[in-house]
Structure 1
């Protein structure tokens, strides 16, 4: 069973962003499966690296739209992105230095943050972007 299930509750109704959110959900599920199967550190590290890179690409997509359409909550939203990236980079650094293993707490942080961010902060920009013609 997947840790996270994609549903309409996670849609922001901007197709490119919804596709990226779906991919992030899948990556968290992939990380969860690898952990459950006892995959080695190299595999877990690669999945985590890929997730960090993809999250940064996704945030860049959102932030490009914020700038293009002058989204009024852009500054606070970008702050959330930066805080998340810094936290995950610290997890990755600690993991690489064998200071910490990939634990359920880290996985829960990733999944909880993503769901809360989409359902809270991201949902607010959906109608704004829709009014600007983004579907």
Structure 2
């Protein structure tokens, strides 16, 4: 079962970022599948680690690209990335230290944040480059 279904509302028409977003959605859905299957926190840790690593790579790529294009909202966008990363690292720390965290809360946050961020914040840079 998919927590996030990829559809045209998530497509920005900006490569390679559409591919990055698809991969992030895939990792989120993989985490959700493990949760639904009742996997142990250690299994979830691996996928969350990969999600964090890939999000970090994606955010860096996006931010460098914004600098090159002189995107006017690059600082605001970078701050959103930093807030997301901080929140996810806190979830990860709770999972590792306490052996548990509200996985459903984490998945719900990730799903909401990712979809809204792609549609709105990333949508703004898409409109910026496509509309000049």
The residue aligned with 1:11 is 11
- Counterpart in 2 of 1:119? 119
Root-mean-square deviation (CA, aligned residues, Å) is 1.3
The aligned runs of 1:2-41 (5 Å cut-off) are 2-41=2-41
- For residues 129 and 53 of structure 1, what CA distance do their matches in structure 2 show? 27
1:59-70 mapped onto 2 (5 Å cutoff): 59-70=59-70
Deviating beyond 4 angstroms after TM superposition, the runs of 4 or more aligned structure 1 residues are: none
Tell me the matched-pair count: 132
| Unpaired runs of at least 5, structure 2 | none
- Report the equivalent of 2:46: 46
State the structure with bigger RCO (CA 8 A, min sep 6), 1 or 2.
Answer: 1
Question: Normalising by structure 2, what TM-score?
Answer: 0.94
8 Å CA contact 1:12–1:18 kept in 2: the answer is yes
Please tell me whether the aligned partners of residues 14 and 130 of structure 1 are also in contact (alpha carbons under 8 angstroms).
no
User: 2:58 aligns to what SS in structure 1?
Assistant: helix
| Distance in 2 of aligned mates of 1:82 and 1:66 | 15
